[in-house]
Amino acid sequence: MMFKDIKKANVIEFEYKNAEIDIPEELVIKQFVAIYTVHEKCRGFNGYLRNRLNNNTGKTVEDYKKSIKKLTVDINNIKKDGPQNSFEEIIIKYGEKVIDRGEECIRKVKDSNYLEIITRSMRRSEICLGNTDFQNLRKSDFIYVVDFNNCSYNMVEMDCLPLLSKLKRKGAKFDFCKLAKEFCYIEGLDADSEKFLIALISYPHEFMKCCNRYRTGKRVWHEDKFSQRIKKALVQDGDPLF
């Protein structure tokens, strides 16, 4: 990237304090152009750094499938033994609906010619930046990037997903279907990529993440904290886009 006029920055100042809520749609589209410029400059690279770049093609979808299966097991176990705390009571109350939503998202991913998207990505050796947040990437006279550590071989759609998914979870009032379509237009992608993005943005990411943390014990939270967090997750995930 450094040889392609992409500059390393120590920090990128961002004027919007409550960025996810206050930013205008035009700035999101401008960020899409910055993302596309990175993709255009880096696509096709298969040189001596190959062994140091992870290949994350398809990883997110597989991780989402695993989370659905694990939550299904959790619910069955809780039903068998009975809920032990308020967090598990919430899992019993909402978990099956969340699983249904997650499974529908995966079905729509498959209906978007997912395997063709993977094939295209691998054929073109597409590279993603990984972190496309406003404070990590900016386009002005040059492309400026703070952190390159999340770069990987991946479908270019996956550089749009975290940006739009985060905006949606933070409560930004955008037409996300329209934004997904705009991203695909800028990248020269077809309607299948648009469907693919909408399906993944609709996935109940926060609820699943909270359940995964509870299961693995990565967060040493009191049960009340877990209960508060998963209630917040239901709000953040909002409604699906389809």
Tokens of 203: 């996935």
94 φ/ψ sector (left φ>0, alpha ψ -120 to 50, else beta): alpha
Residue 182 in any domain: the answer is yes
Q: Residue 80 falls within a domain, yes or no?
A: yes
pTM of the model: 0.92
The neighbouring-strand residues paired with 145 are 8, 137
pLDDT (mean) for 113-122: 97
Q: Examine residue 242 and state whether it is found in any structural domain, yes or no.
A: no
Closest CA to 65 of 208, 169, 162: 208
- With 0-12 / 13-18 / 19 or more C-beta atoms within 10 angstroms meaning exposed / middle / buried, residue 103 is middle
pLDDT tier, 224 (very low <50, low <70, confident <90, very high otherwise): confident
The confidence band for 45, taking pLDDT boundaries of 50, 70 and 90, is: confident
Question: What pLDDT sits at residue 121?
Answer: 97
Tokens of 119: 């094939």
Q: Does residue 16 lie in a domain region?
A: no
For range 174-202, the mean pLDDT: 98
pLDDT at position 52 is 72
Q: Where are the alpha helices (H) located in the chain, listed in sequence order? A: 19-22, 25-42, 59-81, 86-111, 114-123, 161-169, 176-187, 191-201, 205-216, 223-237
Give the Å distances, CA to CA, from 164 to 117, 218, 226.
Answer: 19, 26, 25
Residue 31 has pLDDT above 60, yes or no: yes
* Tally of domains in the chain: 1
Its domain, for residue 114, covers 2-10+21-237
Domain contains 171: yes
Asked, for residue 27, whether it belongs to a domain, the answer is yes
Q: Identify the weakest region by mean pLDDT among 104-108, 141-145, 218-222, 234-238.
A: 218-222
- The answer to whether residue 15 sits within a structural domain is no
Record the tokens describing residue 40, joined without a space. 């255009």
Domain containing residue 126: CATH number: 3.90.1200.10
Strand partners, 138: 144
